[in-house]
Each structure stands twice: as C-alpha cells, then as structure tokens.
Amino acid sequence: MERTLNMDKFLIVDDHPVVLDGLGLLLRDLNPTSSFFTAFSGREAIDLVNENRDLDWIFMDVKLPDADGIELLSQLETRKITANIVVLSSDSSPSTIDRALQHSASGFLSKSFDRLELKQCIQDIKCGRIYLDAQLQVELNHYRQSVLAERQHIEASLTQRQRQTLFYLAQGYSNREIAGSIKVTESTVKSHVQALMALFEAHNRTHCVAEAMRLGIL
C-alpha cells in the first residue's frame, strides 16, 4: 500500500468521538509510523499544542463546545505554530472557508471527505499549496468577488451609531428601546434605521438584519 507521510505528529481536534476515531484510522492507514494526539475541546487543543511545539499537522473542527474554531486558529497564529492546519467542518459556506484561510489554515475539508480526498489534501499542502475542493474554490472565488466586496463596502459606510443600532435591531429591540440603550433620541434611531435599510437595500427591519447576517456583518 502506498504511503504518503513519514513519521509526522498529528493533533486531531473534534468533540465527536466518531470523527476522532475515523480520521485517526484514515491517517494511520496512510502512515502507521506517525504519532497521534486527540483533543475534544479548544482548551485541550491549546494544552497539547503548548506541550508539543513540534506538531506537523493539526486537523480541527471549526465548531467546538468551548471555542469558535476561527478564534482557536487565531490563538494558534499568536503562538506562532508552524504545523499545517486543516479545518474540518460540516459548514462549508464560503464565509467560513474565507475566515479560516485568513487565519493561516492550510486547507479545508468538508466532513463528507473520503480517503482519496484526504490523501490529496495532504499531498497538496506538502507541496506548498492551499487545499480546497474544486467546487468550494469556485464558490469561494465568487464570494470574494461579490459578497465580500459588498460587505467591505457596507462596513466602510457604517457609522458607530449605525452599528450599535443594527446590533439592537438584531436583538428585536424597538426604536424606543434602542434609543434608551445608546442614549440618543427616538427620532435619531429612526434615522439610523432608515439609513441601514437603504444601505442594505432592505424592505424592512427583519430583511435588514437578514442581509447583515448574510454578509457576515452580524
């Protein structure tokens, strides 16, 4: 059987035992001489990283019980971890992928991956390439060209008060409640809401919040 790896050190981070066991078996099949560590949470992962600075690979879920995977990636960046980091997720939305890659992930695998895709992922990363399934790459490119550009335009236009108003709109606050929370008049809040709906090209408050969530602003 062809082997693709050498005596590498792996850390697998996921709160689902089936994923930990299944991925571990696949990786051991590719190279039985490698050593493996597993973590069920972000805190466990950080502890293991601190104890094993020479890790070669980290495979991690983007959603953990005690940590957001993107935040965990940020912590690993701060610690100047040199391991190749592959993000695993059932959420393969372009926004999630984009955020992961921005925080130094070396690749992204949907949890529906198989042995062949895992092998390709590792080979690409070892060759210095970022791994992303071809269809996901197309979706990411479209996202970056359209949705991300739209988000950046809107974020550049939002004032601090409008951001605060948007936050409270998402919580379901009335204009009067928002006015009390950000210490302005109710008429000022009304103006902020109107400006937000124009900026997001929204028909109503609910639509405005939905657009902000779609763009990753909320």
Read off the pTM.
Answer: 0.73
Q: Is 183 left (phi over 0), alpha (psi -120 to 50) or beta?
A: left
pLDDT tens for residues 76-90? 988 888 999 999 988
Query: Does 200 score more than 50 pLDDT?
Result: yes
pLDDT at 19: 87
pLDDT tens for residues 120-170? 999 999 999 999 999 999 999 998 888 888 988 999 999 999 999 999 999
pLDDT tens for residues 42-65? 999 999 999 999 999 999 998 898
Nearest to 60 by CA among 121, 26, 129, 111: 111
Give the whole-number percent of the chain exceeding pLDDT 70: 97
pLDDT tens for residues 64-121? 988 888 889 989 988 888 999 999 988 888 888 988 998 899 999 998 899 999 999 9
Q: Please, is 33 exposed, middle or buried when counting C-beta atoms within 10 Å of its C-beta (0-12, 13-18, 19+)?
A: exposed
pLDDT at 6: 65
User: DSSP character for 41?
Assistant: S
Report the interhelical angle of 186-199 vs 175-182 (nearest 10°): 110
SS3 81: coil
Confidence of residue 3 (pLDDT cuts 50, 70, 90): very low
pLDDT tens for residues 18-38? 888 999 999 999 888 889 999
Domain ranges of the chain: 9-136, 158-214
Q: Which amino acid is at 30?
A: L
User: DSSP character for 9?
Assistant: E
Q: Which two tokens stand for residue 33?
A: 């001489």
pLDDT at 121: 96
pLDDT tens for residues 4-16? 446 899 999 999 9
Query: How many other C-beta atoms are found inside a 10 Å radius of the C-beta of residue 212?
Result: 23
Nearest to 35 by CA among 46, 51, 24: 24
Task: Look at the domain 9-136 and name its fold.
Answer: Rossmann fold (3.40.50)
| C-alpha torsion sign, points 191, 194, 196, 199 | negative
Question: Could you tell me how far CA 91 lies from the centroid of its own chain?
Answer: 9
Instruction: Say yes or no: domain 158-214 is CATH 3.40.50.720.
Output: no
Per the prediction, the chain carries an average pLDDT of 91
